[in-house]
Structure 1
């Protein structure tokens, strides 16, 4: 069984398709997606279609990002679309044929079913940020969806679990590795990569927006994983 976490897709359909093929995902595998599937990149519609299809061949845990929050506010609740359009929503509307009324019902159901967060015995997954002292389910919407990672970075969560986040683009296209925190938004739409982190080994598989695959040298991944396991033993 493979377990992976994938960062912000932002309409980069070729990158997502290449990652799926490179990871050879099957029925025994699990993938956590950290949100922001739509906007900015060229084909949000295809990204959502891929995610729906992917859920038929492996276990998909899809979180909601702030860009899905904006889309749902406009499409479901009739909110003003000006902020969404300025934030990349225009590319999403174009991918759906120029009108939000053309978004298929299956895609609307997908957006409705997105999760706020996900937690396991060792890990926390959330789109944007967290309060180290609060349970992850009790966090505010501002932290969950909108707040970028600060400098300095937040300290370890009180649970002792490692936190995986997206939302804050890593300009060099490299995963942000810390003992207690991993940032998986590697800026695919802006010239970086879409990243998949193997949750068991720490190995990173990446695709650029054109679908070209690269793998982070395994020595770097193992070094980061070793630091994390050493930190856990010290808890």
Structure 2
């Protein structure tokens, strides 16, 4: 069984579809998506639709990202709407608009999508050798005791080995180089797909990497090629 992790998608359905074609998902595979499905890119609605479909197969483990948190807060607390819109929410609402001549509204987002973000997405997930979070962790605390700030907002800078000895797989800190970064004990696979980068999938057991971009291009590599000399960007 392959355990495949995909970094921050940000509404980039062309890159996501191309990546899924490249990895050729098998019935025995487990797919972990690391959050930030919405905002910035052009097709947040399409990405949530695709993930809901994958969830029905029983193969998907979908984590929440800070952009899903902002989206939920914008719906619950009206005074936070403008903050979310400024961070990519406008692009998200546009993808839900009933026509190109109308602006999307929060009410245009279907209940099934809210349910996916609220009840299906998880804060973290782990195996015997790896754990998966959106952003980062406090290295001295178990996953069940992590703060929301660490799980959703803390950058990859100065990531430390977790006391469990497991390897952390995360996103959130976009690598403007388009390349993932591996510290050995921690791997970041947010590779700036909504900018000029790529969407990355990592087979955590073999170390194989697949990447795709919004132009429909593909490339492959191995995580060993991206060690600590790679620059960490914000």
Q: Which residue of 1 aligns with 2:144?
A: 137
For residues 115 and 8 of structure 1, do their structure 2 counterparts lie closer, same or farther at Cα, with a shift above 3 Å needed? Answer: same
Gaps of 5+ in 1: 226-235
Structure 1, 77-86 or 183-192: larger mean CA deviation = 77-86
Distance 1:130 1:6 in 2: 18
Alignment of 1:153-168 (within 5 A): 153-168=158-173
Cα deviation digits, residues 3-40 of structure 1 (max 9, x gap): 10000000101111111111111321111111000000
Matched, 1:180 2:182: no
Aligned to 2:223, which of 221, 224, 232? Answer: 221
Q: Tell me the matched-pair count.
A: 220
Aligned counterparts of 2:69 and 2:96: Cα–Cα separation in 1: 18
222 and 168 in structure 1: CA distance in 2 versus 1, 3 angstrom threshold = closer
Equivalent pair of 2:135/2:152 in contact (CA under 8 Å): yes
- 2:129 aligned to which of 122, 132, 138: 122
Cα distance in 2 for partners of 1:15, 1:224 equals: 21
Partner of 1:89: 89
Match of 1:179, SS state, is: coil
Partners in 2 of 1:22 and 1:58 — Cα distance?
A: 20
Conservation of the 8 A alpha-carbon contact between 2:182 and 2:224 = no
Distance 1:169 1:224 in 2: 15
Contact 2:176 2:197 in 1 (8 A): yes
TM-score, length-normalised on structure 1? 0.89
Contact 2:180/2:226 (8 A) holds in 1: no
SS in 1 for 2:27: coil
Change (3 A) 1:180 1:85: same
Partner residue of 2:101?
Answer: none
